[in-house]
Structure 1
Amino acid sequence: MRSLLRASWALGLLATALAASAAQPSSGAYPIEDGLAATVIGTPAEYKADLPEGLDFEVRSLEPLVERDTPATLRYARPLQYLRVTQDEPAPLAFIIAGTGASALSSKCVMLSRALYEVGYSVACLPSPTSVTFMLGAAEHAVPGRMQTDVRDLYRLMGAVRDDLDDETEVTGYALTGWSLGATEAAFIAKHDAQAGEFGFSRVLLLNPAVDVWASVQRMDRLLADNLDGGIKGIPAFVARGLGGLRQLYASGDPLRFNEDFLYRAYMSQSPDRADIAAIIGLAFRLSLANMAFGADVMTRSDVIVPRDVELGPYDSLDPYIQRSFEMSFTDYIDRLLVAYWNSDGRNVPRETLVAESDLRGIRGFLTGNADIGVFTSEDDPILSDDEIAFLRDSFGERARIRPRGGHMGNLSSRNTVSAIQDFFSP
């Protein structure tokens, strides 16, 4: 599964060169009009915020928070790590929760850490509960997806991070943010903390949250199912077509670097079908889901992907299990792994309960009545419906910043977005 994750990045970046039509840049406004394209391309260089370089980041390793044997094939995901950067003077500490499948070392963690550090925060970035690292070292239940247990695990990890701070690091308060699934989790953590009272977050910012997690991931499933010719078996042809679309860029003689500038250059010069972009997003999501499903199945011996009587060694071929993992839709994951797990060994949690627990509409009263919680998103975010955008606008009022374009996290590192984030967290 390690190679599967690496392939997900390579495939997403290569195939993204197949893009749709672009808007012409204008006076600082985010330039990409299509929400799907914005999601995979991100922010071009000339629109990015200028943030401090050379910060003293530390990758910290923690002792496991749960007792669990590490299967040989998952040893790559040890130890449990988080990323931190601390101020020399007394300062508040901001926690950042990574999005689906992401580790604490992701580029978004680094960028957000730099942005918050610049306005006076020490920062700790945490891995997503859907990452194998978290599942191994921090999850009481190694099948991610039940919001209340994932939130309790994150809250416990925050306490461990707080306890891991150096004696000379003086914390004057706490703040919280996260992106995508991490943003949804941040909302539920804020509600949990309102009762538990360990942190008393002064500011909580939700960046492109899912409103109804299960509805959002089913939209990602449909992007793949509806736009990839031949379904899963059509992937080789899809990749070959993406590689062919790069020939013009290779021919330019410029060094080829897979970054947001390269993707934007491809976006401005190519004009293939918009369905390719939708397929890219669905495919990237499916790769993250496959990694999570494989890890959950191996750790719990669920007998869905790897037969219960098979003991995989660190050098055994994973090809048949990668195929099975990748063929699972999110509905399959819910029914065959998540629901099955929570209805085994004496547990009895209906599917409807698991789904409802991950819907922000269930805590609307808390969100509406808490002036310290804000939300940033885009009207063209493909994980949201129009009704869910309306819910965020109505629930948060003036605390909602909903831009007309930017897709899902595409405008996160833009000057306008970073400035708004810093303003939100400034005293």
Structure 2
Amino acid sequence: MIKLFLLFFTTVMINIYGSEYNYPFKNPYKATILGSSMLMTDGVPETVPTKKYKIKIPPFETPPSNLWYEQGYEFAVSAQKKKAPLIFILSGTGAKYDSTRTKLFQRILYGAGYHVITVSSAFSTNFITTVSSSKMPGMLLQDSLDVYRALENMYKTVQNDIEVSDFYLMGYSMGASHSAVVSYIDESVKTFNFKRVFMVNPAVNLSVSANILDDMLNKNIGDNKENIGILVDRVIYKALKKSNGSSVSLNEETLYKLFEKEHLSNKDMQALIGLAFRLISVDINYVTDLLNNTKVYVKEPVGKFTNMFPYFQIVNFASFNDYLTKLAFPYYRNIIGTSMTMEKLLATSDLEQFKFYLKNSKKIAVVTNVDDFILTENNRKFLKDTFGNRFLMYPKGGHCGNMFYSENVKVMLKFLEEGTLNENK
């Protein structure tokens, strides 16, 4: 059945391009690790003019002492020298505006003639601390309202320096999911009147995708969290050795870069991908607990120079499910009351609640992959049924592994320019 499925989508790609889809990595985990931060298209500028900003978005709250450096929301602008369309890029889960993947999209889109504003994830520490109204992300609509407010403030900051013809929006991974809802919000608010919205490898349901990624770590190293520590020790040793002892930031892109030249088994690759997501979950658990003073992990006040190691021990590689059960659910149940069930909370993270809008909005397109492991078959069916001819599924690429492959880039730019995914239309 799987072989027939893959054959069908290979045939679809032949119909679109007139040739077979020749993305080089057949293994979805290898594609994710090697391809997700690799530019595989020609004609993209090596550098683009970039100006970084840090702004205070109302209502701004002074961060806790140990987050003293989070004094404003950070973003970057790459401006054309003439009137041009402006596109916002929404980063993937936990990623900042200057992550490698976001900057690759920045280079591609600037090279295609757009003003570009790069936007940090609603799950990044910077966003949660300086923008999030709840300090407890996960509800798609609430998070997207926060993102929309951030977009308005970012544009307000730079509007006198750039001349804009039209507004566009794109996002990858969770940033793609948020872009759909931001577009929905804009239909009413109309600050931007987005001309087109492009979604790359979206999560359909945040909790479903998060559980898949959590399981990829758990099932390959065992349920004992000490095994995660052993894996992290190995990663840190490798990182320090490669950096000659200088400090290293452990994030998704760093992990993938460290192991890109090693021959890894499927089990090893799944564990690595799962670990990358777990590190994001750890940050979310810690930061939301600290900012909301819920005292799940941080039971005493934390100062600017407080030793953080004991707190990391308490967090102990907490998963996204830990975040939902220990922090998000009690928080929203306390606000909304006993009518808030876990089932209802999880439903707020699902794109299905916006199906009518997404089905009828011709400005939005989605691309994903047959082997994107953060999606279930029901998730793929939802995307196909909802977006119709504005939906394209590539036969391989894993999760975000083929975003920067030449054919994918052509499809993205064509849709943004002409509003169609199919070259034959």
TM-score, scaled to structure 1: 0.84
Query: How far has the Cα of 1:46 moved from its partner?
Result: 8.1
Q: Is the 8 Å Cα contact of residues 60 and 131 (structure 2) preserved in structure 1?
A: no
Out of 36, 39, 55, the position equivalent to 2:48 is 55
**Residue range with higher mean Cα deviation, 122-131 or 389-398:** 389-398
Superposed CA offset, 1:186-237 (max 9, x none): 1111111112222111110111100111111011111111111463211354
User: Which aligned pairs between 1:270-309 and structure 2 lie closer than 5 A?
Assistant: 270=263, 272-307=264-299
Partner residue in 2 for 1:313: 303
The offset of 1:327, in angstroms, is 3.4
Indicate conservation of the 8 Å contact 1:175/1:202, yes or no: yes
Aligned partner letter, 1:351? M
Once the two structures are superposed, residues 15-50 of structure 1 have per-residue CA deviations (whole angstroms, 9 ceiling, x without a partner) of xxxxxxxxxxx9872211111221122258683444
Q: How does 1:247-396 map to 2 (within 5 A)?
A: 264-266=260-262, 270=263, 272-307=264-299, 310-344=300-334, 349-396=340-387
DSSP-derived class of the 2:68 partner? helix
Are 1:402 and 2:375 counterparts?
no
Alpha-carbon displacement from aligned partner over 1:246-303 (angstroms, at most 9, x marks no partner):
9xx9xxxxxxxx797885543xxx2x43111111111111100111111111111011
Contact 2:47 2:107 (C-alpha < 8 Å) held by counterparts: no
The correspondence for 2:406, drawn from 409, 412, 415, is 415
Contact 1:181–1:210 (CA under 8 A) maintained in structure 2: yes
The SS at the match of 2:76 is strand
Paired residue type of 1:374: A
Which consecutive residues of structure 1, in runs of 5 or more, have no partner in the other structure?
1-25, 250-257
Q: Distance in 2 between matches of 1:129 and 1:422?
A: 25
Q: Read off the aligned partner of 1:333 and give its amino acid letter.
A: Y
Alpha carbons 1:206, 1:375 under 8 Å: kept:
yes
Residue number in structure 2 paired with 1:21: none
Q: How many residues align?
A: 388
Q: Name the amino acid aligned to 2:324.
A: I
SS at match of 1:401: strand
Paired residue secondary structure (1:96): strand
Cα root mean square deviation, aligned: 2.7
Give the whole-Å Cα distance in 2 for the aligned partners of 1:46 and 1:206.
18
Name the CA distance, whole Å, in 1 between partners of 2:21 and 2:261.
Answer: 18
SS of 1:47's partner is: coil
- Residues 244, 28 of structure 1: alpha-carbon distance in 2 compared, 3 angstrom cutoff: farther
Deviations 1:347-382 (Å, cap 9, x if unpaired)? Answer: 664333321122112222211111110011111111
Rounded to whole Å, the distance in 2 between the matches of 1:340 and 1:105 is 33
- Match in the other structure for 1:23: none
- Residues 384 and 156 (structure 1 numbering): CA distance in 2 closer, same or farther, change over 3 Å? same
Q: SS at 2:334's partner residue? A: coil
Contact kept, 8 Å, 1:286 with 1:326, in 2: the verdict is: no
Scaled by the length of structure 2, the TM-score of the pair is 0.84
In the alignment, structure 2 segments of 5+ residues that lack a partner are 1-18, 243-253, 419-425
1:94 to 77, 87, 90: 87
* Cα distance change of structure 1 residues 388 and 298 upon mapping to structure 2, 3 Å threshold: same
